[in-house]
Amino acid sequence: MLCDIDGTLAPIVAAPEDARVLPEALAALERLASHYGLVGCVTGRPAAEARALVPVQAVAISGNHGLEVWRDGAVHLAPQAEKYLPAIHEAIQMVRNDGLLPELGSQVEDKGITFTIHFRNSPRADHARRYLETQIVPKLERAGLAYNFGRMVLEVRPPVPVDKGAAVVRLRGRKRIDNLLFVGDDRSDLDAFREATIRIAVNSAEVPRQLIQAADAVVDGPPAVVALLEHLAEVG
């Protein structure tokens, strides 16, 4: 049993740093981990942050959309991503030294092997986005980094084909698992659905239609995910 965190175990809140996993979810994950072959969380957050949100040692953690795993008390980067760390650091410095981005209301979030430029709080988000497209993206391209625009964000990452699907494969490792259930609420969870045998989508006003279409079942928000986990823990 693998699942996403934000919007799945933790209700969505305005500021990501205020997000909390429902306490009943932690209890249910712990019980599940005692009789399932694999219980883990696969998230876009850095692995260390995810570990702090889900402080249950028996629950495996993959962070930064599969670029990191938490093992033996430390973050381990996907081997193919490691060599891009200096380029990511340089790009963060380049963005931080850009005089205009703060004026445009943009904020940089350093996530280790990736970083995110947020422009949701920009007074003119369209200006911020155009500036990023014309001034920042070409520099990222020259640095050989990958990027994509999300909802009011520009996400920058190493150019390696690692996603939540690869994260599932890595967590599964050599374990013999016949049925793998994945629960998620957003577009990136579609990649994990690819590797799952049972796909559960978490419904919300913002859920992508493709996720609902790809799901075997749909539940209504994090409290319903908790109910599902508790049921699974019960039936063992």
Which is nearer to Mg ion, 4 or 163 (by Cβ)? 4
Q: Which residue is nearest to Mg ion (CB)?
A: 7
Q: Minimum CB separation from Mg ion for residue 155, in Å?
A: 14
Which is nearer to Mg ion, 6 or 98 (by Cβ)? 6
Which is nearer to Mg ion, 98 or 185 (by Cβ)? 185
Which is nearer to Mg ion, 1 or 128 (by Cβ)? 1
Which stretch of DSSP H or E encloses residue 164?
helix 164-172
The residue within the footprint of Mg ion, chosen from 4, 49, 155, 195 (CB under 5 A), is 4
Which is nearer to Mg ion, 10 or 136 (by Cβ)? 10
Q: Minimum CB separation from Mg ion for residue 39, in Å?
A: 17
Q: Minimum CB separation from Mg ion for residue 185, in Å?
A: 4
- Number of residues binding to Mg ion, judged by CB under 5 A: 5
CA 110 from chain centre, in angstroms, equals 14
Q: Is the dihedral angle over the CA atoms 199, 201, 207, 209 positive or is it negative?
A: positive
Q: Minimum CB separation from Mg ion for residue 4, in Å?
A: 4
Q: Which of residues 173-212 bind Mg ion (CB under 5 A)?
A: 185-186
**DSSP assignment string, 63-74:** EGGGTEEEETTE
Q: Which of residues 78-137 bind Mg ion (CB under 5 A)?
A: none
Binding pattern for the stretch 6-35 against Mg ion, x by CB under 5 A and - elsewhere:
xx----------------------------
Question: Is 191 in a helix, a strand, or coil?
Answer: helix
Question: By the 8 A CB rule, do 87 and 144 touch?
Answer: yes
Q: Minimum CB separation from Mg ion for residue 69, in Å?
A: 18
Q: Minimum CB separation from Mg ion for residue 60, in Å?
A: 17
Beta strands in the chain (DSSP E): 2-3, 40-42, 60-63, 68-71, 74-77, 107-110, 115-118, 146-150, 153-157, 181-184, 198-202, 217-219
Distances (CA, A) of 94 to 82, 98, 109, 152, 211: 20, 6, 13, 20, 36
Question: By the 8 A CB rule, do 39 and 19 touch?
Answer: no
Residues contributing to the site for Mg ion (CB under 5 A): 4, 6-7, 185-186
